[in-house]
Chains A and B, each alone.
Chain A
Amino acid sequence: MIEVIGLSKQYGNILAVDNINAKIERGEFVFLVGPSGAGKSTLIKLLVCEERPTSGKIIVAERNIAKLLPSELPYYRRKVGVVFQDFKLLPQKTVYENVAFALEVCDATRAEIEDKVPKILDLVGMLKRRNNLPSELSGGERQRVSIARAMIHNPKILIADEPTGNLDPVNAWEIVDLLERVNNLGTTIIFATHNKSIVDRLKRRVILMKGGKIVSDRIKGGYAI
């Protein structure tokens, strides 16, 4: 599904990602852990094509996405959902409008929007709050909306960059449960986190990064830096 080969990213004199190699299979749930400055966020930016690698390849569905043309990027990004720690919701739009916006800007018809948005809001348990503004929601609820938006194009891959970073433990576990459910539907999940208890309890594959390199890759690992 995803394979990175000899991947490096350099900013001036700083090597943020240093010649890493890894392979993630379809439907896997992978934790990406490591201290701050380990290169997790840079790797995520490379995976969503927000940055171009200095060298190496990123093969997604048998295509090197490092060589994608600007005109191909939107279509790739629809296949990769992204969830952030700070939710990145539009404050002036309701829950429904925030999710619908992701379809509107991709040329979806009104009928498509009216069909898909309620379904995805139901999946993340936010259908009843569809008319609320983000400011009227808890952190966990906002992250659910963010996940709904990331899932609206039915992506094959969902990348979550510290999705529980701003949440209390109860809300954090609700988000983890939700991401597990999404994974059970067949979506590959890459979950970057600092939360030891989540990593330890889920017993999933853990990729540990330090200084831009992958220092360990365990199939059923725990959190260890």
Chain B
Amino acid sequence: MRAESSRRIIKLGLTNFWRNRWLSFTATLIMTLTLLIVSFFAISNLAISRETKTIREKMDVSVYFNDSASTTQITDMQKQLASRTDIRQIAYVSKEEALVACKKDIVCNRTITANNSTENPLPRSLQIKPDQAESLPQIADFLKQEQFKSIVQKISYQDNSQIVDRLVGITSFTREFGWLVCLVFIFISILVVINTIRLTMFTRRDEIEIMRLVGANDAFIKIPFLIEGLIYGILATILAVGLVWAGVALILPRVSHYLGATSSIALMTFFYNNFWLMFGLELIVGVAIGICCSLIIIRKHLKF
């Protein structure tokens, strides 16, 4: 197709959009709302997933040894742990290393100083990082075995597992609930856009009839409706991203004292770092809705 014809087709598509501008505006707004909801849940999911991943990576099992445990016994345990496939890393922490680390921690340091003891009270330990957070209970069970009871003073992982369980639960709930809300709004958008394009087709019915009678190329009749759908998608994406941008740039600083400065900065950083990802995602959803609606209408009403 020549550039001149493409220009005429694009002009027809723009005319479609402009002729029913109030309805087009409503359809664009509904689609913008849908995209805002999609992006809200997508961002929430991404943010929670990343946070969970960070926490999971930080999660470990620490096994503290009685002072009576011999180095051979500890090495033996370390060897047995190393042979497991669900463990990523094992680090031995000596009493001295534990003391150095403790002195860097204000609370820990205060507790030790308060004891007034010249002897290092901190136990030796193994810090075990699992391949996956889900393996933590199995590793803990392994450490609780009868053969290690005499040398193990304490195993710490319980508190972390509860946090992870809760985070996994929140993530799953947000994801499922988010998808449900997104689907409902996508459905509403599709209905509104379909009806808007159908109305455009109705207002242009004489023109379409004449086009058919004079032997117009299929592209001249059908593509303007695809362009109309495309315009809805693109405009809605720009509006939605613009609104989110305004929300992050203008509103977030004003509510930072409620969220806490760290959270506000983290949210802003997250938004700016993932701006293009978000824009791309919204554009895909918006354009897909617009094009699908156009195709549905074309298939239904422009068969000849």
| A binding-site residues for B, Cβ under 8 Å | 48, 50, 70-71, 73-78, 82, 88, 90, 101-102, 104-107, 109-110, 149-150, 152-153
When distances are taken between beta carbons in the complex, the residues of chain A under 8 Å from B218 are: 70-71, 74
Size class of the B contact interface (CB-based, 8 Å): 20 to 34
Q: Let me know if B114 is at the binding interface, CB within 8 A.
A: no
In the bound complex, CA of A66 to CA of B165 (Å): 68
Q: Is B101 interfacial (CB 8 A cutoff)? A: no
A/B interface sample: 15 pairs, CB < 8 A: A50-B304, A71-B218, A73-B304, A74-B216, A74-B218, A77-B212, A102-B210, A105-B220, A105-B221, A106-B215, A106-B220, A109-B4, A150-B214, A152-B214, A153-B215
Contact of B1 with A by CB under 8 A? yes
The answer to whether A107 touches B206, judged by C-beta atoms less than 8 angstroms apart, is no
Q: Is A104 within 8 A of B2, CB to CB?
A: no
- Interchain CA distance A88-B208 in the complex, whole Å: 11
Cross-chain pair count, CB within 8 angstroms = 58
In the complex, A78 Cα to B218 Cα: how many Å? Answer: 13
Question: A50: which B residues are within 8 A, CB to CB?
Answer: 212, 304
B186 to chain A, nearest CB (A): 31
| A88 contacts across to B, CB distance below 8 A | 206, 209-210, 213
Tell whether A78 pairs with B215 under 8 Å between CB atoms, given A73-B304, A105-B220. Answer: yes
Q: A210–B225 Cα gap in the complex (Å)?
A: 42
Given contacts A88-B206, A107-B2, contact A153 B214 (CB under 8 A): yes
Per-residue A-contact encoding for B164-206, CB less than 8 Å = 1, 0 else: 0000000000000000000000000000000000000000001
Contacts A70-B304, A73-B304; is A106 near B209 (CB within 8 Å)? no
- CA of A152 to CA of B5, assembled, Å: 18
Q: Which residues of A lie under 8 Å from residue B145 when comparing CB positions?
A: none
Residue of B nearest to A89 (CB): B210
Write out the residue numbers on chain A whose beta carbons fall within 8 Å of the beta carbon of B212: 50, 77
Instruction: Using CB atoms, name the residue of chain B closest to A92.
Output: B207
A70 CA / B222 CA spacing, docked (Å) = 13
- A109 to B: closest C-beta gap in Å: 6
**Can you list the 10 inter-chain pairs with the closest CB atoms, starting with the nearest?**
A105-B216, A77-B215, A78-B215, A102-B214, A105-B220, A74-B215, A105-B211, A107-B5, A82-B213, A88-B210
- Bound form: Cα–Cα A152–B215 in Å: 11
Q: Determine the distance from Cα of A7 to Cα of B206 in the docked complex, in whole angstroms.
A: 29
